[in-house]
Structure 1
């Protein structure tokens, strides 16, 4: 889940970390995703300000090969933007699990806020360019990696000799800090089962609600059960959104949002499994039909996002790629602010109805 290139801006006691506890939050309030590769952390600052201003769930970044995401988030914290953060996802061939755990814990120390550290393989070509040989089993690579990172964050001394990494070490203890959840990128059933057995959070992109409910959530639960875990990982899903406004064509928005990912074999395969005709004459219409790209008024978008929550999604990442690429930062932030407000309004209305029934 590597971000596309950026669009230009327009005008105490030392103790190991306890197991992570999901952060209490209003269920319908989404998180915010900055989905591009910033040349400078200042490009992300308006999104951090939005999270603080609206009390959105979290600020997420993708893998970036321009400004590295952990450093961007640390820079923003230094500016005073101390909000919950997450990475969705960084690519595990770039760093050893020890370094990954150290980076994640450092963010929790620097921000004082909860962190979700998400990891994924990336494309086979990318992984092979950085590793001595291709990953014969991406599922094994991710499962072992996530397990080692989680153990290190738990304060454990890890002794692991596997096909994809070697680790005989522990992180030095530090003082109390915010919790860190470890996530794994998930698109297809096999990786969902692996994440169910190992991760705290399953991070998905462009996964339609029906596919999440009928395919991924059951596999996550099965993986958790096989590993003897009491519950499946939380599901955090990035959803492309664009408010309907004069001059915005929904198909053009869908193409701008997801065109790059449609050309990636693993995304195309996932969407075919989900029942989308991405090889047909109008893939943009398919993305809109399946709510992979969600457009409409803020209230209409909030209603569609409720279907994602009903499908089992615990945290929705609002992804404004289309507007960010076509109209710039300020238009994207305006969209997100209106959608977040609509989600809050929907939650208040639903709560009022429940109270009146009771």
Structure 2
């Protein structure tokens, strides 16, 4: 029987506009034995619907969302969607959430969250409680309880999108996992992981949430400019103050008004990881050494510049170069924290 590895995943980046695009990524994840296929918050197709479609098309890889935005869904709807994917795919699911920018929150709810940290603590607690069969009160005055009827389903993890230590401490209190994006390994090791541990210790949890990190990748090929690929992949995030602040605190010279120089910095500081497949695999190993439990490959730059076939070719070569590290884990210290080395396909 073939096996899957829970420490390496793949995200279908950018907006999914067709079933065929998502299916190509899902079949790639299946073929390579990756532990999880991730979809983001798209405004083209809903990621939960896409995940169920992929299962109906024969894709067996477990799933996750990285991330959906809390203003779009009542916690009951969020729990129902997450549980539905687990039931209909027959696989474990990670439901990742983030509040989004204050402007987006205001456009959905009429005003920004008074405290995004408090809002996320409450939201994640409510979704987790609903998935666990608890009656949850919601709304400004906590009037009326809602509950999901009991239903057997594969495990659902509730995750928080995390960039900075404040949200990491909240996630340490209430989340099953955290999902980070464009976070350098040293920053994760020195800032995020200790904050997760601090939050977990505050409420007496036995261990921190597991850490999932989405990493931009591209292999070196003739005629490719990694700085241009990084700009394609990350210009929207580089223009957002929250990402710029996180990257500056990690030591990168980022100005949200100048995403071109920001893209150069991502490459120069190996946040956008490029090089030979062996080079990329080696850099991904740094994330694992920093305490990351699952590295998610994001070939967005190549996808946008050259198309899905080129992006997935990069993924296949990187995974092949990374495979010896899996074997070393089997023979040595074992898998990532708290997870089996592999699961059946």
Matching residue of 1:308: 287
In the TM superposition, residue 80 of structure 1 has moved relative to its aligned partner by 1.7
Matching residue of 2:222: 246
- Identify the match of residue 169 of structure 1 among 146, 154, 161: 146
Say which SS state the counterpart of residue 58 (structure 1) adopts: strand
Question: TM-score if structure 1 supplies the norm length?
Answer: 0.87
Larger mean Cα displacement after TM superposition, 149-158 or 343-352:
343-352
Matching residue of 2:338: none
In the TM superposition, residue 350 of structure 1 has moved relative to its aligned partner by 6.3
- Identify the match of residue 56 of structure 2 among 53, 78, 81: 78
Matching residue of 1:227: 203
Matching residue of 2:242: 266
In the TM superposition, residue 345 of structure 1 has moved relative to its aligned partner by 2.1
CA distance in 1, matches of 2:112, 2:76: 21
Matching residue of 2:312: 333
Matched, 1:64 2:39: no
Matched, 1:148 2:126: yes
What are the ranges of 5 or more consecutive residues in structure 2 without an aligned counterpart? Answer: 335-345
Mapping of residues 1-358 of structure 1, within 5 Å: 26=5, 29-160=7-138, 168-174=145-151, 176-279=152-255, 282-349=261-328
In the TM superposition, residue 35 of structure 1 has moved relative to its aligned partner by 1.2
In the TM superposition, residue 284 of structure 1 has moved relative to its aligned partner by 2.7
In the TM superposition, residue 82 of structure 1 has moved relative to its aligned partner by 2.9
Shift in CA distance, 290/346, structure 1 to aligned 2, threshold 3 Å:
same
Matching residue of 1:12: none
Say which SS state the counterpart of residue 179 (structure 2) adopts: strand
Larger mean Cα displacement after TM superposition, 262-271 or 272-281:
272-281
Structure 1 contact 83–111 (Cα < 8 Å) conserved: no
Alpha-carbon deviations, 1:100-150, whole Å to 9, x = none?
000000000011111000000111111100103210100011110000100
Structure 2 contact 48–85 (Cα < 8 Å) conserved: yes
In the TM superposition, residue 63 of structure 1 has moved relative to its aligned partner by 0.2
Alpha-carbon deviations, 1:208-262, whole Å to 9, x = none?
0010000010001101111111111011000000011111112112212212211
Shift in CA distance, 354/231, structure 1 to aligned 2, threshold 3 Å:
closer
Matching residue of 2:339: none
Structure 1 contact 240–318 (Cα < 8 Å) conserved: yes
Alpha-carbon deviations, 1:66-117, whole Å to 9, x = none?
1011111111112122320000000010000000000000000011111000
CA distance in 2, matches of 1:305, 1:46: 23
In the TM superposition, residue 25 of structure 1 has moved relative to its aligned partner by 5.9
Structure 1 contact 34–47 (Cα < 8 Å) conserved: yes
Runs (4+) of structure 1 exceeding 6 A deviation are none
Structure 2 contact 130–136 (Cα < 8 Å) conserved: yes
Say which SS state the counterpart of residue 287 (structure 1) adopts: helix
Larger mean Cα displacement after TM superposition, 193-202 or 274-283:
274-283
In the TM superposition, residue 53 of structure 1 has moved relative to its aligned partner by 0.7
Larger mean Cα displacement after TM superposition, 151-160 or 60-69:
151-160
In the TM superposition, residue 158 of structure 1 has moved relative to its aligned partner by 1.8
Question: TM-score if structure 2 supplies the norm length?
Answer: 0.91
Structure 1 contact 41–67 (Cα < 8 Å) conserved: no
Q: How many residue pairs get matched?
A: 329
